[in-house]
Amino acid sequence: MNSEFEADHDALLQSIVDVALAIYCAEASSIFLYDTERDELVFRAVSGQGQGQLVGRGFPSTQGIAGWVLSSRQAMIVDDLTGSDIFAKDIAEATEYVPRSLMAVPLLHDDEALGVLEVLDPHPQARAAIAELELLVMFARQASVALRVIRNYAHAVRDDPNARRREETRRLLSALTDLMEEDSGPLPRR
């Protein structure tokens, strides 16, 4: 089960792809996390097509447009994708959806490529110019920070097995306090 901390950050990543979807009037938007141990790109947040089906699913880090972008660390827009093999077929089959066009930006922090942010089938008027990549870059920077925090947290939990239990205890105590306040009015706090 996700901790409250992880749930907050999942919500942040989800809000980024939700906003990207809305701004570009797109069919879908996704954030992929680069899993260095498995050398895979893993869906971390999805909005629109594939939402609820793809989170947690991974594919080789060199596959598809996301693989291009992760490897080259360069943002790009690709059109005319219909009929192309390079967009990951397994993903297309899982969602029964193949995009016509795609915008992709690497998620970077310092000297690391953390993942990729994609927008699928943005409205043609929303992606007509190269300038539109800059807007996506702004979202990418938010996503990069969120991914970085999540990973640091995961490392902290790994290095200190009791951290998750302590946090869970704190969360339960907080929830209990809130519940008691609802039932009997405010409690004195130390």
Partner 1 sequence: MAALDLALTWRLKDRPDDLGVTTTWWSHAPDLAGATGRGVRVCVLDSGIEPGHPSVGPIQGSYAVEIENGEPIVRETQAKDVCGHGTACAGIIRKIAPECELYSVRVLGPGFAGRGNVFVEGLRWAVEQGFDVINLSLSTTRKQLADELRAVSDDAFFRRSVIVASAHNLPVESYPWRFSSVISVGSHAEEDPALLIYNPRPPVEFFAHGSDVEVAWPGGGRRRCTGNSFATPHVTGLCALVLSGCPRLTTFQVKNALYMYARNVRREP
Binding site for partner 1 (CB under 8 A): 34, 36, 39, 60-64, 67-68, 70-81, 83-86, 105-106, 108, 110-113, 129-131, 133-134, 137, 140
Least distance from C-beta 181 to partner 1, angstroms? Answer: 46
Q: Residue 55 CB, nearest distance to partner 1 (Å)?
A: 21
Residue 77 tokens, joined: 């827009």
- How far apart are CB 111 and partner 1 at their closest, in Å? 4
Task: Kindly tell me which of 51 and 139 has the beta carbon lying closer to partner 1.
Answer: 139
**What is the C-alpha to C-alpha distance for residues 41 and 20, in angstroms, rounded to an integer?**
20
Residue 21: CB atoms within 10 Å:
22
- Residues recorded for the chain: 190
Minimum distance between the CB of residue 189 and partner 1, rounded to whole angstroms?
44
Q: How far apart are CA 31 and CA 106, in angstroms?
A: 10
Backbone φ and ψ for 57, nearest 5 degrees, come out as -80, 140
Measured CA to CA, the distance from residue 140 to residue 151 in angstroms comes to 16
For partner 1, which is the closer residue by CB, 108 or 163? Answer: 108
Instruction: Count Cα neighbours of 183 within 13 Å in the Cβ-side half-sphere.
Output: 6
Complex with partner 1: residue 51 or 64, whichever CB lies closer: 64
CB nearer to partner 1: give 10 or 112: 112
